[in-house]
Structure 1
């Protein structure tokens, strides 16, 4: 049974209007009547203020539940994708980091139409825009150490430091905000031929040309100009940004 101090503190914590209505934790109230968000707020505050000190086994159980919930969310994101078929490009499972990214940034994983002013921006201006965004992101994000980068599976938009995935999704995010359609901005997992390392780049389709935006290169090149440097493993589909296909979509 919780003492009076805990009951009062729990009632104050649950008074947060965003999460739940006013409740009072007492021994006579069934815990099933409380919302999950409310209980989360209460437990987090109690633990942080050392009002209660659960045993180590309880803490490990909570941690395990967190990890299981996260894995279930990722499995749902992958398995709930609609069936899709590209001619000559078999569908494959997306990278795990991509599934995590779509949970955190759902707007960037939705289909977006072309909102560019075609009468104003010529191809040369679009070329300059690609180079400007590529250089800005490459300069604005500090490269993360290789040891830390290998264990980092979360892609973040404009972090302080990051790996190739952070660079690629940040460039794609800026181009989407500039009005580029999602069908032209394709994340691509490649293998660098020189090192055998898996790497993420952004492929940008402009007419019949495909350009490569890479954090390892300050200049934007056509894909056919650097095809001897990469092996395409899987890319986003043009028709659906949630679908990935083998090799070039």
Structure 2
């Protein structure tokens, strides 16, 4: 009887101690409702777009500068605001006068897409802020082997690994199709 109880306790510890998903298994999830509504309003931003950057003339330093400039421009160009009760968090807009994290993230993604970056490198990601439990939207940018975070809560572009102590990734756009969202951390 005691042996059976210890086995059950061990199974419970193993099951409850593991994340709800494996970082190595692809698990499609429903995109946020805000994303679906955004795609109705801005359909071009939700389509797959190929890389239109001129690789021969743009060094990695120039790409880093472009990321930093866009991050800074958007962070200072949109006044932070909680959405009005009627709007809630359901409408993401490109470059509103006042906005929330979703507005910042889609505006940065929009500007980078217009600069020629491929959609496969620009992934919207819903995270949970560990300190508060609040859901938050950021833009993940894949540049070479690096994954960078563009966030309205940070004035600098930060490597993803340096943010994992602050954030838990809930879901993100798939790198293969902007319409699909996943929990697949390995894709980053």
| Structure-1-length-normalised TM-score | 0.63
Please say if 1:133 is aligned against 2:70.
yes
Q: Secondary structure at the match of 2:117?
A: coil
Larger Rg: 1
Moved over 6 A (4+): none
What's the RMSD between the two structures over aligned residues? Answer: 1.6
Tell me the residue number matched to 1:145: 82
2:137 corresponds to: 200
Q: Give the structure with the larger helix fraction.
A: 1
Note the C-alpha offset of 1:147.
6.5
Structure of greater relative contact order (alpha carbons < 8 Å, 6+ residues apart): 2
Unaligned runs of 5+ in 1: 1-86
Which residue does 1:184 correspond to in 2? Answer: 121
- Structure 2 unaligned segments of length 5 or more: list them: 1-23
**Change in 2 beyond 3 A, CA 1:91/1:150:** same
2:161 matches 1:229? no
For residue 119 of structure 1, what is the aligned residue in structure 2? Answer: 56
Alignment partner of 1:156 out of 93, 103, 106: 93
How many angstroms does 1:174 deviate by?
0.2
Q: 2: CA distance between counterparts of 1:124 and 1:148? A: 42
The answer as to whether partners of 1:232 and 1:247 remain within 8 angstroms in 2 is: no
Aligned to 1:244: 181
Q: Which has the higher strand share?
A: 2
User: Aligned with 1:204: secondary structure?
Assistant: strand
Per the alignment, do residues 88 and 237 of structure 1 end up closer, same or farther by CA in structure 2, a change over 3 Å counting?
Answer: same
